[in-house]
C-alpha cells in the first residue's frame, strides 16, 4: 500500500543505538556481518531520516552469519524508547510477495494457469464500468498490468476526480475501525473505469492483489491467510509473521508505535483494522522474518525454477522508473550495482523497504511513520541503499 500526505513535520527525538542480535545488546556494539565503517554509514543514514522528521528507523541485515540491527530515533515518542529488538511492524505491500508466492505454487501444482483470464476462476467478479475479467489474466494481476482501478485510487489525482467521494481515506477514524470484505473492496473498484487497456503497461494497483487473495480461496477452499501460513510461514519457521485475524486491530509482542501525520499533527496510528488492506497489505512481521522469507524465495526454496523464472520476468514499474516489477517481486536499483530483488510496503504508521542482494545479504528497513514528501521518501531510500551496499 502507498499513501502520501503532504503535511508539516515535527522533529522527533534523535537518540541512536546499534543492537547486535547475536551478541550484547548495547549502543555502539559491532559484532556482526558488516564492518564497523559500513555499519557507521548505515547509522549515519538512519540518523538522517530522523533529522528529516521520522520518529525512528530500524535496519535489519541478515546473512548466513546471523542478523544485525541498527536503529535511530525512537519507537515511542512518549517514553523515548527505541525500536525494540525483533520489532513487529505492519509490512504493508510486502504482503503482495507472500500472496504471489502462493499463487505461483498453485501454478506449479497445475491448479492455476498464469495466462488464463481471471473470469475463469472468479466469474462475474471483475465486471462493471468497462472492467472485464475475460480480458485480464492472472499474470496481469500479479504484474500490475491489468489496467484495473485501485479501490484506494493509488494516489492518482485524476482517478480521484473520476471516482468522486468513493475513495477510501484510510487514515480517517471511520475507515480505521471499519471491517471490509475482499468482495466489498473489489466492488468499490468496479465502480470506476479501467486505468488502461490490459497488458499495455504496469500501473501499481492494490485491487489486483485483493483479487489474487480471492483467487487463492476459490482455488484451495481456504483463505489466503491460511494458505500463506501453511505454505510459507510454518515451513520457514517465521514465528513473528502473521496475517491478522478478523477484528484483530493491535500488534502483539514488542513493537514500536506507528505514527501518521494528519492535518499537520502527528497521531499514534498503530492500532487499526487492516481489512481494507487485505491480501494487498495487511500482514505483520519482523525485519528478520522478512529477510528470511525473501532469502528463501530468491534462493529457490519456495518455488520451482520454472515459476521463479516467471517471477523474475519484469516490466517497467510506474512507481520506480529504474526498477522492474516481476510477479510480486521488484528488481531494485542501487548505488553499488548489486543485483537486488525485494519489495516494500506502506501503511499508516509504517513504511518498509526489503531486498536481497546477489551476495546473500537481506535487508529490511522500517520507519514508524509514512513519508509525507518526496524529500522524506528519498531519505528512506538513501538509508535502504546504505544498508544494501554495506557488504
Give the active site residues: 93
d(CA 296, CA 236): 8
The grid coordinates of residue 18 equal 546499534
Q: What value does the CA radius of gyration of the chain take, rounded to a whole number of Å? A: 20
The grid coordinates of residue 293 equal 522469507
d(CA 327, CA 308): 9
Question: What is the distance, to the nearest Å, from the Cα of residue 172 to the centroid of all Cα atoms in its chain?
Answer: 21
Bridge partners, 19 (sequence order): 69
Bridge partners, 89 (sequence order): 285
Burial of 234 (0-12, 13-18, 19+ CB in 10 A): exposed
Give the Å distances, CA to CA, from 319 to 39, 306, 315, 376, 385: 29, 27, 12, 16, 17
> How many C-alpha atoms does 239 have within 13 Å on its Cβ side?
3
Amino acid at each position: 500500500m502507498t499513501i502520501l500526505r503532504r503535511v508539516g513535520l515535527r522533529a522527533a527525538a534523535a537518540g541512536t543505538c546499534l543492537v547486535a542480535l547475536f551478541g550484547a545488546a548495547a549502543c555502539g556494539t559491532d559484532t556482526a556481518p558488516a564492518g564497523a565503517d559500513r555499519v557507521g554509514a548505515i547509522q549515519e543514514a538512519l540518523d538522517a531520516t530522523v533529522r528529516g522528521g521520522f520518529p525512528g528507523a530500524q535496519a535489519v541485515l541478515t546473512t548466513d552469519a546471523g542478523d544485525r540491527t541498527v536503529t535511530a530515533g525512537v519507537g515511542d515518542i512518549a517514553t523515548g524508547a527505541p525500536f525494540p529488538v525483533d520489532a513487529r511492524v505492519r509490512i504493508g505491500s510486502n504482503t503482495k510477495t507472500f500472496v504471489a508466492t502462493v499463487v505461483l505454487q498453485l501454478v506449479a501444482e497445475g491448479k492455476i494457469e498464469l495466462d488464463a483470464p481471471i473470469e475463469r476462476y472468479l466469474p462475474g467478479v471483475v465486471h462493471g464500468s468497462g472492467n472485464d475479467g475475460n480480458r485480464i489474466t492472472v499474470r496481469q494481476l500479479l504484474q500490475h498490468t491489468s489496467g484495473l482501478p485501485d479501490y484506494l485510487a493509488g494516489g492518482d489525482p485524476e482517478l480521484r476526480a473520476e471516482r468522486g467521494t468513493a475513495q477510501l481515506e484510510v487514515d480517517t477514524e471511520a475507515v480505521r475501525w471499519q471491517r471490509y470484505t475482499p468482495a466489498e473492496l473489489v466492488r468499490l473498484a468496479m465502480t470506476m473505469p479501467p486505468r488502461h487497456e490490459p497488458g499495455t503497461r504496469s500501473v501499481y494497483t492494490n485491487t489486483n492483489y485483493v483479487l489474487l487473495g480471492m483467487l487463492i480461496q476459490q482455488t484451495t477452499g481456504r483463505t489466503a491467510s491460511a494458505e500463506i501460513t501453511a505454505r510459507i510461514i510454518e515451513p520457514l519457521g517465521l514465528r513473528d509473521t502473521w496475517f491478522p485475524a478478523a477484528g484483530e486491530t493491535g500488534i502483539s509482542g514488542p513493537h514500536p508505535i506507528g505514527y501518521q501525520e494528519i492535518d499537520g499533527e502527528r497521531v499514534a496510528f498503530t492500532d487499526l483494522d487492516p481489512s481494507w488492506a487485505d491480501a494487498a497489505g495487511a500482514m505483520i512481521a519482523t525485519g528478520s522474518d522478512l529477510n528470511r522469507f525473501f532469502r528463501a524465495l530468491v534462493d529457490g526454496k519456495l518455488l520451482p525454477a520454472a515459476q521463479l523464472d516467471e517471477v523474475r520476468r519484469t516490466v517497467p514499474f510506474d512507481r520506480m522508473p529504474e526498477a522492474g516489477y516481476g510477479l510480486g517481486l521488484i528488481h531494485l536499483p542501487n548505488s553499488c550495482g548489486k543485483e537486488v530483488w525485494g519489495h516494500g510496503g506502506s501503511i499508516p504508521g509504517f513504511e518498509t523497504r526489503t531486498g536481497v542482494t546477489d551476495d546473500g545479504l537481506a535487508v529490511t528497513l522500517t520507519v514508524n511513520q509514512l513519508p509525507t514528501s518526496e524529500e522524506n521518501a528519498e531519505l528512506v531510500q538513501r538509508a535502504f541503499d546504505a544498508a544494501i551496499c554495506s557488504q
